[in-house]
Amino acid sequence: MFREIQIELKLPSTYPSGVKILEHLISMGLATGVPIEDAPKSTPSKGFFLLGIRGSRELDVDPLELLQAYHQSGIICYFSALAHLNLTTQIAAHHHVAILTPRRIKTNIEPSEIIPKSDSSKQKIERSRLGTLAFSYQGIPYYLVKRVKNSLPGVKIRIVSPWTRIRMTTIEQTLLDTLQYPFHCGGPEAVFEAWEKQIKKIDEDLILDYLERIQIAPLTRRIGAIFDLLGHQPTKRLDLFLNKTRNQFFVQSEIQHISLLRGTHYSQINSSWNVLVP
């Protein structure tokens, strides 16, 4: 029956390829390519196209759409999340989307804490340290990073337009990320702006839940130190957890100091947490 209908209607025997369909849409003005730069040639093509009515308009693509289109199961984080969540007034100088890797066996051990001899600045951080360059758009680099699954419990699906749903770190997860990856998040200035802006509004039950699930002792110490720095008294449940962690911390015979922001150097010491602070 289908064969008879196919012959009668003169339908093609095979469906056209995706490339042919895309070329046809472009010729009709229903699709427009998004001009990206710096896409590595060694990786599969990651071209972007605006479809439908949007394709006939002047290109004005939301960075979040590009990130989610690049990796549909990825999680938008770091500077991209800070900017979208209005935690900073700075314009994102780079963007990140993360893919999850299996849980670590030893979750309480963090990669080495490196405190440089002199102050670092985001201008001195090489691109390669920010992740794998996926592409650039309008001169802004977009990076792909791998993150351990248990280190990223705070993810929320957000609807940013009628056609776009994104997976992004929550406000509380994003704030935790700023302490561990400050240069991914725009540098110390953006980090302190975010904490000062949000400190009175954060959901401390979520902070507690994330800390218990992430199980990275230096991160907990950093939370205690930044609360002290900003003069913030945590809620009872979080305060009990922080005190318990601190008591366990002081039982250790050899305790190395760490910086409030990982990868930076400060000269003052918060003796309660043995954390260097501004």
Structural domain including 239 reads: 203-278
Split at pLDDT 50, 70, 90, the class of 107 is very low
In a domain, 58, yes or no: no
Split at pLDDT 50, 70, 90, the class of 112 is very low
How many domains does one find in the chain? 1
In a domain, 219, yes or no: yes
- What is the spatial distance between Cα 262 and Cα 260, in angstroms, rounded to a whole number? 6
In a domain, 42, yes or no: no
In a domain, 122, yes or no: no
pLDDT of residue 161: 77
In a domain, 190, yes or no: no
In a domain, 119, yes or no: no
Its pTM stands at: 0.79
In a domain, 173, yes or no: no
Beta bridge partners of 143: 96, 133
* Average pLDDT along the chain: 81
What burial class does residue 200 get, using C-beta atoms within 10 Å of its C-beta: 0-12 exposed, 13-18 middle, 19+ buried?
exposed
In a domain, 267, yes or no: yes
Q: In what order do the strands lie in the sheet with 268-270?
A: 258-259, 275-277, 268-270
